[in-house]
């Protein structure tokens, strides 16, 4: 399992969400054989997340342009976009079910597509309890999410402009 010392140096963490302050931290990396724009489009199309994000059954836009709500394993989370740089960076925070979280995404063009890095920081009593009972839960979830992102990005039709 990755520790705070494994964090990517180019991920931006908001105040209070450093990996050093987490009850759970993990990182997943992969090369997606598709342009960054395709992966970015999937990650920013929040209403479609229930179709492909593991454990997520509902997603809807919130009252603010950069807020949304999701239902994850039966629990409601209020989410807020913290970073949004087209085709390169995304980050969002969430609150719900006894946890506070921040998930960051870094998309870097490489010769054969996009190098994707995602890191999660989770804090709170539920995160602490889950980490003790199932230490690999966050890594498994991140891996599933990246696997799905890779599958969908690579299967998406190319329009030549992305």
Instruction: Please give the model's pTM, rounded to 2 decimal places.
Output: 0.87
Q: How confident is the model at residue 161 (pLDDT cuts 50, 70, 90)?
A: very low
pLDDT tens by residue, 19-65: 888 888 889 999 999 999 999 999 999 999 999 998 899 999 877 77
The answer to whether residues 53 and 145 touch, using CB atoms and an 8 Å cutoff, is: yes
Calculate the CA 9 to chain-centre distance.
Answer: 17
In the chain, what percentage of residues exceed pLDDT 70?
88
Q: Does 162 score more than 60 pLDDT?
A: no
Q: What is the pLDDT of residues 82-127, one digit of tens each?
A: 999 999 999 999 999 888 999 999 999 999 999 999 998 888 887 6
**Cβ atoms within 10 Å of 41's Cβ, excluding its own:** 17
**How far, in Å, CA of 37 to CA of 131, rounded?**
34
| Cβ-Cβ contacts under 8 Å for 155 (sequence gap 6 or more) | none
């Amino acid at each position: 399992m990755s520790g705070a010392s494994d964090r990517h140096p180019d991920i931006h963490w908001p105040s209070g969400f450093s990996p050093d302050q987490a009850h759970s931290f993990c990182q997943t990396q992969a090369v997606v054989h598709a342009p960054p724009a395709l992966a970015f489009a999937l990650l920013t199309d929040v209403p479609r997340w229930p179709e492909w994000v593991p454990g997520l059954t509902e997603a809807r836009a919130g009252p603010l342009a950069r807020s949304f709500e999701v239902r994850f394993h039966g629990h409601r989370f209020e989410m807020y976009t913290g970073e949004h740089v087209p085709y390169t960076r995304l980050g969002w925070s969430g609150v719900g079910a006894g946890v506070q979280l921040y998930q960051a995404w870094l998309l870097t063009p490489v010769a054969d597509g996009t190098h994707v890095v995602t890191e999660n920081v989770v804090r709170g009593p539920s995160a602490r309890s889950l980490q003790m009972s199932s230490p690999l839960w966050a890594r498994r979830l991140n891996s599933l999410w990246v696997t799905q992102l890779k599958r969908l990005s690579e299967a998406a039709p190319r329009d030549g402009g992305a």
